[in-house]
Amino acid sequence: MLQTLSIRAKIGTGFGLALLFLLIIGAVSYSNTSDLMTARAIARHSLEVEKAIGEVKTGLIDMETGERGYLLTGDESFLDPYQSGRQAFDAALADVTALTADNPNQQARLQKLRDTTKTLFDRFAETVDARRSSGLDGAMSLVKAGTVKALMDDARGILKDMDDEEAMLQTGRDKVAADTAQSTFDSIIYGTLIAVALMLLAGFFILRSITIPVTTAVGNLASATAEILAATTQLASGSQEQAAAVAETVSTVDEVTQTSDQAAQRSKAVSEAAQRSVESGKAGRRAVDEAVTVMGKVKEQSESIAEGILGLAEQAQSIGDIIATVNEIAEQTNLLALNAAIEASRAGEHGRGFAVVAGEVKSLADQSKKATAQIRQILGDIQKATNGAVMRTEEGTRNVNEAILVVGRAGDTIRALAETITEAAQLAAQISASVGQQATGMAQIHQAMKNINQVANQNLVSTRQTERAAQDLDLLSAKLRLLVNGGR
């Protein structure tokens, strides 16, 4: 069950259990302490009852002592302890009565004590009056009768019974208080030990449920980081090779562009020469020989143009292969960027920066794909134009050959020569237009390759940034693994 909880929930559960254990121990301790305080209060109550009973005895003894002193001396001052003893007796008896209001046995004894002491006090008064009126002998006759002694013995017996019951109650209450104190002590000690054991056990399981998944996450992160680092290193190497290939392609395109310019210039020259040949054909027979010479040059130039156009076609095919390679690299870059984004999302908060870099890499890869698609389309147009130019150049070459044969067979046929030269001029104009289109297309290819080169350089920079981010992520995973393993 703990495995399904989040780390925050697991820690909260641990603290919750600890708080629950503390609350249980606190509740038990509070209950036992409350019982102990109650027992102590009851014990103090018994002590107060015993103290009040002692004060009753003291008051009674003071009265007896004052009466005896007066009987022996006849001095009224000896009656002062008698009077104060009576007041103390009455006050103490009232206290005992209030303190034992919940004890029927003691209340019965108190009632009996009141009846006994009432009679006793009457005898005390009779003896004092006899001493005053009849002297010592009259008082002693009452004392010798034994009534006062018997009543005092009864009062002492009643007080002793009350004292014995309170002592018995005190013993029981002391035992209850001691048992309650021991129970409180045991509850605190054993409850604390049990709570500590349960908390340690819960902490063990919670810690285990946290450290095992975290360790597994750290292991997966380290593995994924290593894979990302290897992939980004490979991507950086591939991007560098791609940049080098693109740079070489740009250089090749520059050369092709220059060749196209030269071909355009030559084509223009051919067109101008054909025009001059037409004008010369109108001049006469002499122009035929010059036309034969010019047509030979035209043939050579046409063959040279055909060779140049074929070379351009081969170079265009090479560029197509290079573009296919660039497109494949862009596809691989896009796939690596997607994998990097997936791994960054798995890394969570620590992979946000890497996800941004991966997004930039994917954007650059998409730009590379778009650029290569445009170049491929342009190359297709160039190849079509080149093929048309080749066909027309070959046709022009054949026409020039036929013209030479015609001039050779009919050197005096100026008109036929002029017509042939006119056709050659038209073909030359077409070749010039085609070569001009080719030059324009090569210029576009040149600009596109510059754009590809710029994108490749940006891709290389982004890949380097991605590689550094992967290295930082690898270092972070190592630190996290070190923290999880406790420095091991």
Query: For the segment 173-193, what is each residue's pLDDT rounded down to a tens digit?
Result: 778 778 877 877 787 888 788
Structural domains for the chain: 7-210 (1.20.120.1730), 232-486 (1.10.287.950)
| Neighbouring residues of 334: CB distance < 8 A, sequence distance ≥ 6 | 362, 365, 366, 369
> What span, in angstroms and rounded, lies between the C-alpha atoms of 233 and 81?
114
Compare 17 and 161 and report the one with higher pLDDT: 161
Q: Give the per-residue pLDDT at 281.
A: 64
> What span, in angstroms and rounded, lies between the C-alpha atoms of 470 and 464?
10
Is the per-residue pLDDT at 232 higher than 90? no
Taking the CB of residue 5, how many other CB atoms lie within 10 A of it?
15
Taking the CB of residue 57, how many other CB atoms lie within 10 A of it?
18
Tell me the residue type at 222: A
Q: How large a percentage of the chain has pLDDT more than 90? A: 13
> What span, in angstroms and rounded, lies between the C-alpha atoms of 42 and 127?
42
Is the per-residue pLDDT at 117 higher than 90? yes
